[in-house]
A and B are shown apart, each in its own frame.
Chain A
Amino acid sequence: MNVAGLIFSNIHDQSIPELTRIRTMASIPFGCRYRLIDFPLSNMVNSDITTVGIITHNNYQSLMDHIGTGKDWDLARRSGGIKLLPPYVAAYENTVAGRLYSSRLEALIGAENFVHRCQADYLVLSDCDVILNIDLRQVIEEHIRSGAFLTVVTKQLGSVAHGFDSPVDVVRVGEDGDIEEITRVRSQRGACEVSTNVMVVRRSDLLAIISESLSHGYTSFSGDVIGRNLGRQRIRAYRYTGWYAHIDSLPSYFACSMELLTPEARAGLFQIADRQIYTKIRNSPPTKYAEDAVVKNSLVADGCMIEGQVENSILFRGVRIGRGSVVRNCILLQDTFVGSDVQLGCVITDKNVVIKDGRTLSGHESMPFFIGKGLMV
């Protein structure tokens, strides 16, 4: 079975502007050493998908830097491998002429060439705002067996009230496993089933979707493609039961990151046999804990130097915590430098932030204090 992957790197950029001001959703750092794209990319690689197109929109420099040739995902191939698909802006009729795409469907139209040439029988589509560790081979098998037009991976959420910081597609699934209704909501009472936007479709069907959308001027994938086809074509739900996180705002980024401190999250994301998460190798030395270091309930990347106290925090590569400093409930991105006698609580620092000696900074879980890239406080 020949399957190709297609990753949308920018689609949810606007939901977390603090971190996407200088990068794509795909290249948001997450979990000490990863970028969000590492999860869909690793899922594809672990499911024997070795041809992957990455649709970009803007701000994709950091993404290109991260992906490189794709060798860290074993995707530096002569045949297939990773292809970055920058926006295709041209003055032809019937294309998104003269402007960048603004929806998933328009992005797909721009990637038509890749879909046309990739020689796969099926395609897996994925976004970067949802974090899963999923065996896509099972989804593909299930899709083929059911003979469905489209299979959407869904996740059932518990019976609490859900407020989504960005709109989410809630699906109603019939007893036969087919999706009967799809609604875009901002909040939901009680248990619900949401689309993860991971989808499997036959390549010829995707090409048909693209050309039909072009001729009708459709722009919305969930509305125009899924919505219009409900009842006409079989659109199936594949229920994913593993660990799931959906990042749609800075507070949810904070909450999802902190969830990694639970053994369930680490087991469900990082410790599944044969399904490890790959990322760019940085060759950092091991992390050093000084004589007076006190570290509790924290996730720490390589290349750090800890001389102070760290609790319930996530430290990315190359972070330094000075003597006498206390860091609680913080997410410190790559190469953050914390001087001596600093107090930090519920702070998110972007890369290369410097916190000078003696500073005290604090936010709240519902409103973490964010410090932009390269700033000095």
Chain B
Amino acid sequence: MIKKKECVAMLLAGGQGSRLYALTQKTAKPSVSFGGKYRIIDFTLSNCINSGLDTVGVLTQYQPLLLNDYIGNGLPWDLDRTFGGVKILPPYQGKDGADWYRGTANAIWQNMNFIDRYGAEYVLVLSGDHIYKMDYAEMLAYHKQRGADCTIAVIEVPLEEASRFGIMSTREDGTIYRFTEKPKQPDSTKASMGIYIFNRDKLERYLRADSQDPASSNDFGKNVIPAMLAGGETMLAYPFHGYWKDVGTIDSLWEANMDLLGEHPALVLSDESWRIYSRHESAPPQFVGKDAAVSNCSVTAGCELYGSVRNSVLGSNVRVMPGAVVEDSVLMSDVTVESGASVRYSILDSGVTVGAGATVGEARGTASGIAVVGANYRIPVGETVAAGAMIYG
């Protein structure tokens, strides 16, 4: 008997994330660390499994080594399945030649055979660089119930920020009549979240046409969605209410981390009914020393804290030595802050060492920007890293 999957998820994870620069020198954006023990892609993968979607193709291209290793056989997300599960889909050499993924649409087009292997009627296209918790099953039910050809998840954004997003103009019944990428004068506040559900046959037809158009940049937002609108297909906006953040910039990545803190955090990870899964190494419990001061922080296993840590998010195995100060910062795994050093309003990637007495960044109130230090960088004893600086080795 041939088994089938009603819906297959295709997760676009090939983006470089060039605006994160120092953090994406050696890895793709979806595998950037977030919230202490997660990576950005954990949110979409966990959403998939929590929505009952157990077949996920992850399209990789830029610096895939870490991502391949991280996803592995999909075990942490319960996506290690004998039929379905998570599969990494890198660019490959086919009968008609080999090519890189030339755009988001082209990446899916090159993998239509993956979708067809599972006989999927619906294709969910996701991007691996957003932080949110969403039930895709509800969106699929909406799509099916309304008989749409394509459903796009949208979120309300403030009008003054609307020109940063792809904006959907909708009718009363929720159908989309216009889509404008980063409009100068937005007439709607419904921003595309980069989450699409397509009927497989319609998707194939438009991707085929797109692939034959040499002028196309093979992008969903720029080419395929406008073409489907022009072709008179039924396009629906699916309104999403809840936390959603594009962590494509240093500032937004920092903000999203800070959203975990406070008495009523904007982003809650302790919800047992919607767990975020991640692959993590076994680390011993965290230890807080007798002279340490830790307040308004999120701290992960393996940390040893002897200094003062405030308003910060700490990854696993972080060491803050006696007399050191960490404030308003994001410290990824295996960071060491030596005695007397201070780290303020900064993002330190994994493995960074801040030498004794060194100063990184400035107090948040006065700093010109967030200081960012790339993976495994060693800041020498007594050195100063200016506010807003971006350094990596």
Contacts and interface: CB of A to CB of B under 8 A. Distances in A.
The yes or no verdict on A and B being binding partners is: yes
Interface of A: 31-33, 71-72, 261, 266, 269-271, 276-279, 281, 283, 285-303, 305, 314
Nearest to A42: B282
Given A286-B37, A298-B287, A291 B275 contact: no
Contacts of B299: 286-289, 300
Contact of A270 (B260, B284, B289): B284
B270 A300 contact: no
B275 A295 contact: no
Contacts of B290: 296-297
A299 B263 contact: no
The 4 A-B residue pairs with the shortest CB-CB distance, nearest first, are: A32-B285, A270-B284, A285-B269, A286-B36
A233 B14 CA distance: 65
B277 interface: yes
B35 A286 contact: yes
A271 B284 contact: yes
Contacts of A314: 285
Contacts of B37: 285-286, 302
A33 B263 contact: no
A81 to B, nearest CB: 15
B288 A298 contact: yes
B301 A302 contact: yes
Contacts of B227: none
B295 A297 contact: no
Contact of B285 (A271, A294, A300, A305): A300
18 contacts: A31-B284, A72-B282, A261-B287, A276-B282, A281-B282, A283-B76, A286-B35, A286-B298, A288-B298, A289-B296, A289-B299, A291-B295, A292-B295, A293-B294, A295-B294, A296-B288, A302-B37, A302-B301
Contacts of A276: 281-284
Interface centre among B76, B286, B290 (most CB of A within 10 A): B286
Nearest to A33: B285
B287 A266 contact: yes
B278 A295 contact: no
Contact of A281 (B261, B263, B280, B296): B280
Interface in B305-363: 313-314
A266 B301 CA distance: 13
B294 A303 contact: no
A302 B290 CA distance: 19
A139 to B, nearest CB: 23
A278 B298 CA distance: 23
A298 B292 CA distance: 10
Interface centre among A277, A291, A314 (most CB of B within 10 A): A291
A297 B284 contact: no
B124 interface: no
Contacts of B218: none
B286 A299 contact: yes
B285 A299 contact: yes
A288 B297 contact: yes
A295 B282 contact: no
B173 to A, nearest CB: 39
A374 B125 CA distance: 45
Contacts of A33: 284-285, 301
A256 to B, nearest CB: 15
Nearest to B282: A278
A295 B291 CA distance: 9
A292 B278 CA distance: 29
B75 interface: yes
B286 A287 contact: yes
Given A31-B285, A277-B284, A298-B287, A285 B270 contact: yes
A303 B284 contact: no
A307 B264 CA distance: 13
B300 interface: yes
A212 B263 CA distance: 66
Nearest to A298: B288
Contacts of B291: 296
A287 B298 contact: yes
Contacts of B295: 289-293
Given A277-B282, A285-B276, A302 B300 contact: yes
Nearest to B291: A296
Contacts of A278: 282
A295 B284 contact: no
Contacts of A283: 76, 275-278
Interface centre among A279, A298, A301, A303 (most CB of B within 10 A): A298
Given A289-B298, A291-B295, 16 more contacts: A31-B284, A71-B75, A276-B282, A277-B282, A278-B282, A283-B278, A285-B270, A286-B36, A286-B269, A286-B299, A296-B288, A297-B290, A298-B287, A300-B285, A301-B286, A301-B301
Contact of A299 (B281, B287, B293, B294): B287
A372 to B, nearest CB: 23
Contacts of B285: 31-33, 299-302, 314
A278 B278 CA distance: 16
A290 B269 contact: no
Contacts of B296: 289-291
A75 to B, nearest CB: 14
A292 B277 CA distance: 29
Nearest to A32: B285
